Amino acid sequence: MSIIEAQHVIKRFDRFTAVDDISFTVERGEFFALLGPNGAGKTSTIRMIYGFSPLTSGRMKIFGLDIGADWRKIRSRLGVCQQENTLDPDLTVAQNLIIYSRYFEMDRSVARRRAEELLEFFALTGKRDAKVMELSGGLAKRLQLARALMAEPELLILDEPTTGLDPQSRHQVWDRLFELKKRGLSMVLTTHYMDEAENLCDRLVIMDHGRIIAEGRPHDLIIKHAAESVIEIDGPSEELRNYVKNHAVEHDDLGERLIIYAEPRGELESQVREKFCVESCRFRAGNLEDVFLRLTGRGLRE
Amino acid sequence: MNRLKRTDITLRFRHIWVRNLITYHRIWKVNFLVPLLEPGFYILAFGLGFSGLVGRVNYAGMQLEYTRFMAPALVATACMWNSFFETTYTSFVRMYYQKTFDGILATPVSVEEVIIAEIVWAASKAMAAVAVMLTVLIPLGYANFPGALLCIPLAFLGGLAFASIGMFFTGLIPTIDMFNLPIFLFITPMFLFSGTFFPVSGIPDWAGIFSLVFPLYHLVELTRFLCIGAMESRPLFNLAYLLLFIMVFGRLALGTMKRRLIK
């Protein structure tokens, strides 16, 4: 049984359609990502998963239960780490965890033990009596993650967990998420960081303007929509332009820069290297960013 | 407006009440100073400065000392300020700036339970403030013992009324400084014209009818009845009005707050 089943889900706000007929499933134990630029409809989708926003139309089933009818049962098995800091600034670090457990009606001694474990896991034990207002962004996010895990959820929902964090904090969060993945926890993540999705997720959908425009495993998507190997050439010559046109090479011409999608160590790559790479060529592996930019266009967005 | 399902309201709201209590616990010593000292200030000011001007007040066929007439109204207005401020400014901060409700709405607690918890909490706070005031007023002889103790549960009821209408405004108001509007247009006239500083029977009938609309008038009457054993109105009528007010504005508060919170 799938842990999330979304069928033809639509979310409208007045005349604006935030989520425009999307369908996807997430399997138990999977780390699934919703990837997309700001305003793509990721957060709206996430909010429908945990029953914060009602669906305009379509069906959303979590653990096989309907979110409209069984929201309370579903939410008691979910952990949600929201994008904004929703921690209680009036309470201490430890109190934040304990009070939260009460909303789930957890047994008190279980909650206390669980809080200690999580403080340990997120390296927050030393801060247990600190006021939330005194925490840095990275610490606050770790506490928010700890809080989401208090009721031992079967599914963890993460809405842009690393947005706004410094590199150290980001990696700390990633390490924890890796660890949770190893333990078999199902997770859904939204992000606009391509590397985050690529490194962490088993499978993802790319959203844009409320629609799903691609779905698959990160590596498969790279091969399908970009290439395993990418060559970037600054200030391409006419000669190179003619060459790629004549040889029907997969490429994007950005004017000042030409991007060629190739196979790693292939014929094309060596040809380009020999003939055109006198000055500035960059050889690198293809990534989700290439996929994303190719699918959604490179223009500036509102 | 949104449908209301019976299954969406359970006793789970008590956990948010506890959350508010724990938060309040950190500042309660400061907060309790207000109800402890406030009646003293008023009684001093009106007793020393004002009663020389007014002498005695004709109320319910009695000749009352001005401070004795006014003291029960202080209890009722304290109940009003405490509960109304809690579901307006304080709830707004929790909802809008601290995103506390958003956090709670990711747990098995419904939006209705969040709203009800806020209203019940505000009423509880009003009740506590009134209890503290009575510890001053009873020994000073401004409230009968033990009858005046019934003002404590009454303050809970009155608190529900003011908290409901406060929550209703919180659901409507776009920014926090806009609370000036309901305070200026509703709370201030209510504070002045609810038989608080002068008996409603002393003013023209057309103005007296106006007072009947204010929940504070009914609470002042009941409080005065419990404190000094005299009133100009009928207690059951006052109680019924307060209950009706709670039901109407409680329902409206759920409506405006749900529209605001559910996106």
Q: Which residues of A touch B98 (CB under 8 A)?
A: 86, 88-90
The parent domain of residue B185 ranges over: 9-261
Residue A11 CB-density burial (10 A; 0-12 exposed, 13-18 middle, 19+ buried)? buried
Chain B: give the shortest CA distance to residue A195, in Å: 27
pLDDT class for A114, splitting at 50, 70, 90? very high
Residue-wise pLDDT for B3-18, tens only, equals: 567 678 999 999 999 9
Q: Residue B210's CB: how many other CB atoms inside 10 A? A: 16
Q: Helix, strand, coil: what percent of chain B each, to 5? A: 80, 5, 20
Residues 6+ apart with CB under 8 A from A229: A261, A262, A263, A264, A265, A266, A269, A283, A284, A285, A286
Are the Cβ atoms of A80 and B19 closer than 8 angstroms?
A: no
The per-residue pLDDT for A143 is: 96
The per-residue pLDDT for A279 is: 67
Chain B residue closest to A48 (CA)? B263
The per-residue pLDDT for A120 is: 96
Residue-wise pLDDT for A227-262, tens only, equals: 888 888 888 888 888 888 888 888 888 888 888 888
pLDDT class for B28, splitting at 50, 70, 90? confident
| ipTM, 2 dp | 0.89
**Considering the domain boundaries, does residue B133 fall inside one?**
yes
- Residue B112, pLDDT > 80, answer yes
- A233-238 long-range contacts (CB < 8 A, ≥24 apart) are A233/A257, A233/A258, A233/A259, A233/A260, A233/A272, A233/A276, A233/A277, A233/A280, A233/A281, A233/A282, A234/A279, A234/A280, A235/A279, A235/A280, A236/A276, A237/A276
Residue in B7, B22, B99 nearest the CB of A86: B99
**Considering the domain boundaries, does residue B4 fall inside one?**
no
Higher pLDDT: A287 or B157? It is B157
Work out the angle between the directed axes of helices B14-25 and A93-103 (0-180°, nearest 10).
Answer: 160
The per-residue pLDDT for B42 is: 83
Number of compact structural domains in chain B: 1
Best-predicted range by mean pLDDT (A31-40, A147-156, B37-46): A147-156
The counts of H helices and E strands in chain B are: 13, 2
The per-residue pLDDT for A299 is: 67
**Considering the domain boundaries, does residue B206 fall inside one?**
yes
**Considering the domain boundaries, does residue B182 fall inside one?**
yes
* A247 close to A62: Cβ distance less than 8 angstroms: no
Q: Which of A82-96, A127-141, B51-65 has the lowest mean pLDDT?
A: B51-65
**Considering the domain boundaries, does residue B3 fall inside one?**
no
**Considering the domain boundaries, does residue B225 fall inside one?**
yes
The per-residue pLDDT for A301 is: 63
Mean pLDDT of B141-146: 92
Residue with tokens 């509880």: B124
Mean pLDDT of A126-149: 94
The per-residue pLDDT for B1 is: 38
